[in-house]
Amino acid sequence: MNQIFLFAVLGLGSGALIAGTAVGLVVFHRGAGVVNLAAGAIAMIAGFAFWRFRTPGLSLGTGPALVLCLLVCVLVGLFFEFVIFRPLRTAPPLAKLIATLGALLLAQAGMQLTFGQSPRTEPSILPTGRIEMFGVGVPTDGLVLAGIVLVTALLLAALYRWTLFGLATRAGSESEVYATLFGLSPNVLSGINSVLACVIAGMVGVLAAPLITLDTQTLPLVVVPALAAALLAGFTSPVGACAAGLGLGIVQSLLYYASIQSWFPKSAGQPMPGVFDLVVFLVIIGAMYWRGNRIPGRGELIEQRLPLAPRPERLLQPALIAAALGVLALIVFPGDFRQALMNSMIGTIVVLSLVLLTGFVGQVSVMQLALSGVAGLALSHLAVDLGIGFPFGPIIAAVVATGVGVALAMGGLRARGVDLAVVTVAGAVMIQNLLFANPSFGAGLTGAPIQEPKLLGLNLGNQASFRGLDGQLPSPVLGFVVLAAAILLCVMVSNVRRSGLGRRMLAVRANERAAAAASVNVRMVKLTAFALAAFIAGVAGVLYGYNFGGVSAGRFSALTALSLIAFAYISGISMVSGAVLAGFLAVQGLAQYAMLKWFGINGNWANLFAGVALIANVIFVPAGTAGMQYAKRRRKETMRAAGLSKPSVLGRVWGS
């Protein structure tokens, strides 16, 4: 019992970080009505800032460093308010959440470019001694940090309950319309609360950084258990969020204690990884059902619609042109650019699953890249363990990914929009740590090997005898297979949009209740969309495995998935042409490799650009680049049909 008590108390340190981030999420939601996915990144920024202020070069004292960190947090809060929240005041809640995703990418890329990817050791501020409790020596720093977060939550609860500012914030969080009619300013309330939330999350990050790993991977994902804690508190109670966060920290520590026991589930002789992430995922699912599957909303002044999903008119001609250009490029390009082109085409396929699920149905899923990894792992086991190769292995692997996607979607089937995004973020992290990191049936540390695809003795992989004009690897043969799959899936998704199913999907996206009243089976439409999107993602995972000869966990991480979603929104989340553009912009795609090869600009700069561009797109061009081009083309066609403009010079030359 003493050991259990000790580990429970040890969990208060990490629990305080979860709790502080959860309290920040509650304050963000009270003030701006936003689920801020960048709350963990705020703690990361403050932690790195404090480390920089204290290290040689500046070597400031603790007091001045804390004051400067406080100023940094205030500036970050003002950034969120004036750059993101205020321009998106009348946007749908989902658009606001996507904008915070851009802020997360911006923060992570900025910290990686500034401080690198190596973990940092931050000097401790809190007392580091031990006190005796029930005969057990307990570290004081975790207790003090938990006490600070709890007192902060109690003060916030008193602020919101018994002050005029708190009453005004509560009024604005319940209905911006009524608050405005009573003479309150939603902008002012949002600004003050945004700064307050950033100060809380940032300072907790400064205090907790010595107790955990200060890097660019751990702290941003603290937002996932913090979302679970905030959900349990209904995004309204700071004290409830604090208690839930501390409780999750204790659970995490007790699970670590259980993992060293002989009865704990093992994988290849090691404790089963990712159990805490599974608990967090189940807590989020349970909280959704307990609270009616809805994150509390508010009455906005105006609500804009999601981007237009236009009906594709011509498919054969673009498909033939893409096939001809793709074959030519695969043959002519040198080996390194050929590989980048294949990566782009695989990225296009992953984004196609997002177009179908998010662009057509309005269901934001962060799990699609993880489902690609599931298919890759399944293909490895089918080929290595069972001897099932091409073409049956890839088909079965894609079906496995479909089953996993539908099974996980069942947990959040009644959720949509922001609610589903929260569920799938937790699902992506769970798959990453529970499945990919598993040494028995996952990729482990060394990855899962995949053999070259062969059909009737013909090698269809990267090692095929035909090497293109330069005679270098990879062979264009696998590129031809990837190109064919990408074109067929683009045509399939376009035909889905043109079909009756596509119209039902758009009806569900627009208004689920109205769609149900029009005899649309909303549940079946969602399940069909999840199944199709998971299958498409599974095809991408299979092709990825063949392309690299194996599957590694790092390529399917939740943060990589967020960057891919960013490029999808920048390019046009509701159009197939947007998926093609996003594939070229994606990680290790053609555009990023060209920037690295020609200008030495690495992927962190691309993610920095993705964060900035995503925020700008959500605010100014919500339809994305492809949607903007489509709107321009339609305007020109309409004006030309009405005789309001003359044909261009090029058009007269070609007789158009």
Q: Higher pLDDT residue, 23 or 5? A: 23
Nearest to 165 by CA among 27, 23, 39, 68: 27
DSSP conformation letters of 81-145: IIIIITTTTTS-HHHHHHHHHHHHHHHHHHHHHHH-SS-B-PPP-S---EEEETTEEEEHHHHHH
* Three-point CA angle 263, 266, 269, nearest 5°: 115
132 - beta bridge partners? 137
Q: What is the mean pLDDT of residues 100-120?
A: 88
The amino acid at residue 558 is A
Residue 624 has a pLDDT of 66
Q: What is the mean pLDDT of residues 6-33?
A: 88
Q: What is the mean pLDDT of residues 116-140?
A: 76
> Tokens 């990879």 label which residue?
474
Which residues contact residue 11 at a Cβ distance below 8 angstroms, ignoring those fewer than 6 apart? Answer: 142, 249, 250, 251, 252, 253, 254
Residue 534 has a pLDDT of 94
299 - beta bridge partners? 175
Q: pLDDT per residue over 556-577, tens digit each?
A: 888 888 888 888 888 888 889 8
As a whole number of angstroms, the distance between CA 173 and CA 176 comes to 7
* Backbone phi and psi for residue 266, each to the nearest 5 degrees, phi listed first: -115, 155
Residue 415 has pLDDT above 80, yes or no: no
Q: pLDDT per residue over 264-290, tens digit each?
A: 888 777 888 888 999 999 898 888 777
Q: What SS3 state is found at 575?
A: coil
Q: Which domains does the chain have, with CATH numbers?
A: 2-259 (1.10.3470), 325-554 (no CATH), 627-656 (no CATH)
Q: pLDDT per residue over 36-74, tens digit each?
A: 999 999 999 999 999 889 887 778 888 899 999 999 999
* Backbone phi and psi for residue 139, each to the nearest 5 degrees, phi listed first: -60, 140
Structure tokens at 387: 């001897």
Q: pLDDT per residue over 318-356, tens digit each?
A: 899 999 999 999 999 998 899 999 999 999 999 999 999
